[in-house]
Amino acid sequence: MNTKHLQPGDYLKKILTARVYDVAIESALEPAKALSRRLHNKVLLKREDQQPVFSFKLRGAYNKMVQLTAAQLQQGVICASAGNHAQGVALSAHKLGTRAVVVMPTTTPQLKIEAVKALGGEVVLYGESYSDAYTHAAALEKQQGLTFVHPFDDPDVIAGQGTIAMEILRQHQGPLDAVFVAIGGGGLISGVANYIKAVRPEVRVIGVQMNDSDAMIQSVAAKKRVTLPDVGLFSDGTAVKLVGEETFRVASALVDDYITVDTDAVCAAIKDVFVDTRSIVEPAGALAVAAIKQYVATHKTRGETYAAILCGANMNFDRLRFVAERAGVGEEREALFAVTIPEARGSFRRLCELIGQLPGGPRNVTEFNYRISDAARAHVFVGLTTHGKGESPKIAENFGKHGFDTLDLTHDEMAKEHIRHMVGGHSSLAQDERLLRFVFPERPGALLKFLSLMRPNWNISLFHYRNQGADYGHILVGLQVPPADHKAFERFLDTLGYPYVEETANPAYRLFLQTR
């Protein structure tokens, strides 16, 4: 970027005179009541997810573009973006009546691609990250004589984003201990830090990055810009390999501290925001909330006031399944275990009884996966609700004391991502197996009722259950029922009273699970 470095006073003037409200709204600053109660600190949410393009990016884009000459606007603009800046540029171009070419990484969620097209932007997909898209956009800029609108490394863009801090300090004039800001390339935090340090320097500005996309943190530590070889793409809005020259300079001088968060923590934060607002933010939008939770846990604070900028809500609907799956583990309200039990009659029931008697009160089973595979031992994948952080080692130890060897998988990435879905397969031991899908009431004791009504000689050879947050759980059970017991088995099903569908003839079962 070829521009002279601006001083904080210069940025303050640029922020105060920024042109953003032709396209942006002054977003609300709302208390997160449930989260505040849990953390014993006041948490305020700056609702940039409510902007017309569901992110803050239109502020900086418009402030840059509205200052272009008539000749530049006639020629058109170009940008590189993972999605949110692209929408800001496309909307601004529509407002100003100019052409917008948008280069996006091929990994960009379809939701953002379609949104840019709907606003009249010309989408070009290139590369796997923002940095790849940027290189291609720079080439197209020269070829077509377009004006490049940088997503972060431009004083006018930075000033546009800084209007968020101006609004926060106007909307909340009481005590404010820290503002937490997600960092991708650094435009947002540069604008926010410039304004806050000029107006209320006692307020701490804390930057937040994903642990697998921490280019700014590494750069500040090295005192020079560091290019990451790869970036994690879960938080695609902050997946930047190299931060800007100007944003690095500003952040190095003005940002008080940095925090990294992981995927599970971000998923938990998305849930926290939903609980308080009934809105769903994208991963980048939840980084600040995840960081506040981590900050409070680390520093043991009480009675302080924090603001989190919810910087975007362009979430692909398909991704919600993953987020919901990981949110419980992220806030450590779910623990995962591999429990080894003797392959003997009554072991399954004894394990269930033990779960109901764990110290700390009753716990719901969130997941239970098992497939008979060994004549002597059975390995069961178990998920349990917890009452707080750090409980999983204690639960594992308790299982061990009662004769069940247990491996704590709560923080095992492969287990959370893959193994939990792969428990099963063909088994030569599963003779006379009948497969049934049951609907169980989602309450403690439902499984024990099932087990107590069963004949002791009907062995459970397969069990798959995952809590989906509904009033009823869907459970797949394999039972070894000798042909001579079929009539008795039908009576058992009638007595049980749970809705069921027999799946023994299901072709998928025959292909992947049935003994051969």
Where b means 16+ CB within 10 Å and e means fewer, 492-507 reads: beeeeeeeeeebeeee
| pLDDT for res 425 | 78
Is residue 62 pLDDT above 80, yes or no? yes
Tens of pLDDT, residues 385-399: 888 778 889 999 999
More confident residue, 110 or 49: 49
Average pLDDT estimate for 255-277: 96
Higher pLDDT, 72 or 419: 72
| The pLDDT value given to residue 315 | 86
Extended beta strands in 246-357, E state:
257-261, 305-309, 334-342
pLDDT over threshold 60, residue 1: no
Decide which of 355 and 25 is more confident. Answer: 25
Residue 270 has a pLDDT of: 97
- Cα–Cα distance between 514 and 504 in angstroms, integer? 9
Distances (CA, A) of 410 to 158, 439, 491: 40, 27, 40
- pLDDT higher at 399 or 373: 399
Question: What confidence tier does 446 reach under pLDDT thresholds 50, 70, 90?
Answer: low
- Under the banding of pLDDT at 50, 70 and 90, the label for residue 133 is confident
Q: Is the pLDDT of residue 468 over 80?
A: no
Look at residues 347, 268, 273, 342 and name the one whose alpha carbon lies nearest to residue 312. Answer: 273
pLDDT band for position 471 (cuts 50, 70, 90): low
Distance CA 421, CA 164 (A): 43
CA 44 to each of CA 28, 273, 429: distance values in angstroms, whole numbers, following the listed order: 10, 11, 57
| pLDDT higher than 80, residue 61 | yes
CA 499 to chain centroid: 35
